[in-house]
């Protein structure tokens, strides 16, 4: 099982207990929280941008696998009955015209009746399967947020929405690379198999020690950097496309759902 250097026994929490902790002010990254419960990225956009966001996700399913879409103005989801998308994440980001203007711990005062929310699969979900297969998770061992990088690989645009793919990176020992690939491939709804292994320059990443989001992670000498498509990609699209308003999760600080990981495992 995964330990968590920052939160102690967070892995033993239920999803409901995790959300209660975040609602009460806990702001740590959610990697290692609530073992067995699916985590999701959040992006909320005005209704007149919602079709384009849905189309953007449909055209880019690897970084943007949609788990649920709310009605306009709604802050509830059947993925976690009784939860509140405005308060139950550790930290949020508020955007205006592509600029980050705030990173609050709730967005009740920022909420709008025209917001449509998208819950997008997160690679934290398959980390438990990786750990059970013997794949070390360096960011959790080191008590850090997973490192994320903006790549030079463009997403397929959708109307006004465009932008680059974002990836998360986990250093993997060579003898565990096949396990990391095969285990994550069984969960395509939470990004699935890696998009790249090895030389980061293949994705236009110049320096692994300078992630665009999250924290740098110390690798062991023989580790191979392995890159998965990341649900922060819609935030990169917000920065590139500059919609008038958006709310997202803060990178690495997800919405913990009541759905079980095995629901998204294909075998």
Strand-pair category, 196-197 with 164-172: unpaired
- Delimit the domains of the chain by residue range: 124-229
Burial state string for 2-25 with b = 16 or more CB within 10 A and e = fewer than 16: bebeebeebbebebbebbebbbee
Output the pTM of the full model.
0.92
For the chain, the C-alpha Rg in angstroms (whole number) is 17
CA 226 vs CA 157, 184, 198, 221, 235: distances in Å: 25, 12, 6, 14, 21
pLDDT at 12: 82
The share of the chain scoring above pLDDT 90, in percent, equals: 91
The dihedral over CA atoms of 182, 122, 95, 98, expressed in degrees to the nearest 10, equals: 20
CA separation for the pair 222, 174 (Å, rounded):
7
Strand partners, 93: 248
Q: How far apart are the first and last CA of the chain?
A: 21
Average pLDDT (9-21) is 88
CA separation for the pair 200, 208 (Å, rounded):
8
Mean pLDDT, the chain, as a whole number?
94
Q: Is the pLDDT of residue 77 over 60?
A: yes
The band of 32, judged by pLDDT with boundaries at 50, 70 and 90, is confident
**Paired tokens of 193:** 């198999």
The band of 8, judged by pLDDT with boundaries at 50, 70 and 90, is low
Q: Is the pLDDT of residue 6 over 70?
A: no
Average pLDDT (48-57) is 98
CA separation for the pair 151, 62 (Å, rounded):
14
- Count Cβ atoms below 10 Å from residue 128 Cβ, excluding itself: 20
The band of 267, judged by pLDDT with boundaries at 50, 70 and 90, is confident
CA separation for the pair 68, 7 (Å, rounded):
28
CB 204 within 8 Å of CB 153: yes
CA separation for the pair 36, 187 (Å, rounded):
13
CA 90 vs CA 23, 130, 227: distances in Å: 7, 24, 24
Closest CA to 174 of 215, 148, 218, 136: 136
Q: Is the pLDDT of residue 2 over 60?
A: no
Closest CA to 226 of 206, 196, 203: 196
Strand partners, 150: 166
- pLDDT per residue over 94-141, tens digit each? 999 999 999 999 999 999 999 999 999 999 889 989 999 999 999 999
Architecture of domain 124-229: 2-Layer Sandwich (3.30)
CB 116 within 8 Å of CB 69: yes
pLDDT at 86: 98
**Paired tokens of 137:** 């998770």
- pLDDT per residue over 204-261, tens digit each? 999 999 999 999 999 999 999 999 999 999 999 999 999 999 999 999 999 999 999 9
pLDDT at 122: 93
The band of 196, judged by pLDDT with boundaries at 50, 70 and 90, is very high
Return the biggest CA–CA distance within the chain.
Answer: 51
């Amino acid at each position: 099982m995964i330990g968590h250097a920052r939160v102690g026994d967070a892995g033993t929490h239920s999803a409901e207990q995790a959300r209660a902790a975040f609602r009460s002010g806990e702001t740590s990254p959610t990697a290692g929280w609530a073992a067995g419960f699916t985590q999701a990225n959040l992006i909320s956009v005005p209704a007149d941008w919602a079709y384009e966001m849905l189309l953007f996700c449909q055209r880019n399913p690897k970084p943007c696998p949609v788990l649920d879409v709310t009605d306009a103005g709604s802050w509830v989801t059947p993925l976690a009955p009784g939860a509140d998308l405005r308060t139950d994440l550790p930290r949020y980001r508020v955007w205006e015209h592509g600029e980050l203007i705030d990173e609050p711990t709730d967005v009740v005062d920022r909420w709008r009746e025209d917001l449509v929310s998208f819950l997008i699969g997160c690679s934290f979900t398959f980390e438990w399967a990786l750990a059970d297969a013997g794949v070390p998770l360096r960011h959790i061992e080191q008590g850090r947020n997973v490192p994320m990088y903006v790549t030079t690989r463009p997403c397929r645009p959708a109307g006004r929405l465009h932008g680059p793919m974002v990836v998360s990176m986990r250093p993997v020992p060579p003898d565990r690379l096949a396990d990391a690939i095969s285990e994550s491939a069984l969960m395509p709804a939470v990004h699935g198999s890696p998009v790249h292994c090895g030389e980061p320059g293949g994705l236009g990443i110049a320096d692994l020690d300078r992630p665009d989001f999250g924290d740098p992670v110390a690798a062991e000498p023989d580790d191979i950097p392995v890159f998965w498509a990341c649900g922060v990609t819609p935030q990169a699209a917000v920065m590139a496309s500059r919609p008038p308003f958006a709310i997202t999760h803060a990178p690495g600080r997800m919405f913990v759902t009541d759905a079980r990981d095995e629901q998204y495992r294909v075998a």
